[in-house]
Amino acid sequence: MHGHLLGAAGAIEAIAAIKALEEGVIPPTINYDEKDPACDLDYCPNEARERRVDLAVSNSFAFGGLNAVVAFGRV
């Protein structure tokens, strides 16, 4: 995992999404210790999970409200 990479943050996040598609590994949600019983999401806490990934979405939120979303899919 990494800190904020300023101008490179979006590119690194996009690469992580593409590698998840390519390698079939879902990156972990780090520092996730306590599940919220009101939130029924399938998190991947603290350890990567091997799984076929067919679609990945990369969100980038920048200073000043500059935001972007890119979706990558298996062809």
| pLDDT of 25 | 96
User: How many domains in the chain?
Assistant: 1
- Answering whether pTM is above 0.95, one says no
Instruction: Pick out the chain residues at pLDDT < 70.
Output: 1-2
Supply 24's token pair.
């079939």
pLDDT value for 1? 60
Is residue 1 assigned to a domain?
no
Rounded to whole angstroms, what are the CA distances from 60 to 10, 11, 21, 49, 65? Answer: 5, 9, 18, 23, 10
Kindly state whether residue 69 falls inside one of the protein's structural domains. yes
Q: Residue 75's pLDDT is what?
A: 87
Q: What is the dihedral of CA 22, 26, 31, 34, to 10 degrees?
A: 170
Kindly report the CATH number assigned to the domain that includes residue 11.
Answer: 3.40.47.10
Q: What is the pLDDT of residue 66?
A: 85
